[in-house]
Amino acid sequence: MKEFAARRRRLMHMMGRGTIAILPTAPVRLRNRDVEYPYRPDSDFYYLTGFPEPEAVAVLLPGRSQGEYILFCRERDPGLEVWTGPRAGQEGARAHYGADDAFPIGDIDDILPGLMENREKVFYTMGSCPEYDQRIPEWLQQIRAKSRAGVHAPGEIVALDHLLHEMRLFKSRREISHMRRAARISAAAHRRAMQCCRPGLYEYHLEAELLATFMRHGCRSPAYPPIVGGGGNACVLHYTANDAELRDGDLVLIDAGAEYRHYAADITRTFPVNGRFTAPQRAIYELVLAAQEAAIARVRPGNHWLDPHQAAVRVLTRGLRDLGLLRGDLRHLLKKEACKRFFMHRTGHWLGMDVHDVGDYKVGDAWRLLEPGMVLTVEPGLYIPAGSRGVAKKWWNIGVRIEDDVLVTRDGCDILSKDVPKTVAEIEALVGTACE
């Protein structure tokens, strides 16, 4: 709770006096009739409050003498709590979540406009929540209607995410420790999937091993739906059907990460279903691995965001040319971004509470410089679906991605996900060792 309070103080300091911030959490979402998706609070909201319940809105009022942090949340309701479990209520919000004051969420229309009166700016992220996107202008209108009574309505709505996402981009020691834990647990899950793999299983059998390992180690949920793609399915970047048979002679690509205390891991490994790479699979695998190593070597303070990507692209382009998958002069191939045909995504993204975490990638027109405390993924890949024109058949249905989670440190970087095997020898030694 101390860390949440410190974050609120820092944000309020940046907002300045005479302002108000309004942050709703995520709504409960229906999966189908009467069935809800597992609830996950909004990351921005949780980052500042640590409050886990739905139907809540945090309000920050820098400099307000009667209290700077107000939480609107559900009321206690013994009847409903029999069905869905205990609620903090307003008393709990004050006693356990550090709110200076708390009100029932049902009273927000009566109370919040009053809190906005005579403030200059409203910090709110438009587009973040359709319900409040509509209500905030309505409240402003109500306040304007009182102008003859001397009430002054805020003149500006300012996007909150610039300030908040800049804070979230730099991870504290505690956040890094959560992320390390998420990565370690995810690494154990990947090792387990490798050990259990054999031809004839279905992709979801490996998914089951991943999820079981996450939960066994205290992660209730993956950070995103796992991808387990055998053969050509590895070439579908966002494949999540995970329902095909794993065939002898194919590779399988697993992209899976656990969420630990609202922090994500995001790890990909690719390995042969039967434990032995064929020569073409191995050639592509070694190339992606070399690209990933070159990219990770570029992760250090002072380098810019695109440096790792550019390093990966150079290695991949040269390698594809050496293998005969691209033809022509290297400089020309690099200039026309020829490797995009087989590597169509970027080498990484910020990682944190959200798997594709917040934070600007550019400052003005320039790529952002890497600084200690940032965490990013490094995940080059090559994808060669069956039927690729002008590509020899031996390369078809090979899809390889290798993804690690990398913390920028003072003098370089630290690979949080290093506990999953990555070399051909390590992988061949592990796959299938736990088959019943």
Residues labelled catalytic: 34, 238, 255, 266, 345, 349, 356, 379, 383, 401, 403
Q: Is residue 413 within the footprint of ligand GLY (CB under 6 A)?
A: no
> Which residues, 266 to 285, sit near ligand GLY by CB under 6 A?
266
3-class SS of residue 264: strand
> Which residues, 158 to 217, sit near ligand GLY by CB under 6 A?
none
Instruction: Tell me how far apart the alpha carbons of residues 61 and 67 are, in angstroms, rounded to a whole number.
Output: 8
CB of residue 415 to ligand GLY, shortest distance in Å: 16
Q: Is residue 175 within the footprint of Mn ion (CB under 5 A)?
A: no
Q: State the amino acid at position 53 in one-letter form.
A: E
Contact of residue 224 among ligand GLY, Mn ion, none (CB under 5-8 Å per partner type): ligand GLY
Exactly one of 213, 233, 377, 388 binds Mn ion (CB under 5 A); that residue is 377
Q: Which is nearer to Mn ion, 161 or 266 (CB)?
A: 266
Q: Which residues contact 14 (CB under 8 A, 6 or more apart)?
A: 163
C-alpha distances out from residue 415 to 122, 279, 424, Å: 40, 29, 19
Q: Which is nearer to ligand GLY, 377 or 397 (CB)?
A: 377
Q: Is residue 355 within the footprint of ligand GLY (CB under 6 A)?
A: yes
Q: Which is nearer to Mn ion, 44 or 266 (CB)?
A: 266
Instruction: Tell me how far apart the alpha carbons of residues 349 and 309 are, in angstroms, rounded to a whole number.
Output: 10
> Which residues, 330 to 349, sit near ligand GLY by CB under 6 A?
349
C-alpha distances out from residue 178 to 162, 171, 175, 265, 318, Å: 24, 10, 5, 10, 38
Q: Which is nearer to ligand GLY, 209 or 403 (CB)?
A: 403
The dihedral region occupied by 432, where left means phi > 0, alpha psi between -120 and 50, and beta the remainder, is left
DSSP state of 379: -
C-alpha distances out from residue 303 to 179, 369, 370, 391, 411, Å: 23, 6, 6, 36, 12
Q: Where are the alpha helices (DSSP H) in 197-238?
A: 203-216
CB of residue 179 to Mn ion, shortest distance in Å: 14
> Which residues, 276 to 305, sit near Mn ion by CB under 5 A?
none
CB of residue 262 to ligand GLY, shortest distance in Å: 17
Question: CA-based diameter of the chain, in Å?
Answer: 81
Contact flags string 111-150 toward ligand GLY, x per CB under 6 A? ----------------------------------------
3-class SS of residue 289: helix
C-alpha distances out from residue 61 to 8, 309, 318, 322, Å: 10, 42, 56, 61
Q: Which is nearer to Mn ion, 227 or 273 (CB)?
A: 227
DSSP state of 122: E
CB of residue 375 to ligand GLY, shortest distance in Å: 13
Q: State the amino acid at position 324 in one-letter form.
A: G
Q: Which is nearer to ligand GLY, 161 or 404 (CB)?
A: 404
> Which residues, 247 to 266, sit near ligand GLY by CB under 6 A?
255, 266
Q: Which residues bind Mn ion (CB under 5 A)?
A: 255, 266, 377, 403
Residues interacting with ligand GLY, by CB under 6 A?
224, 255, 266, 349, 355, 379, 403
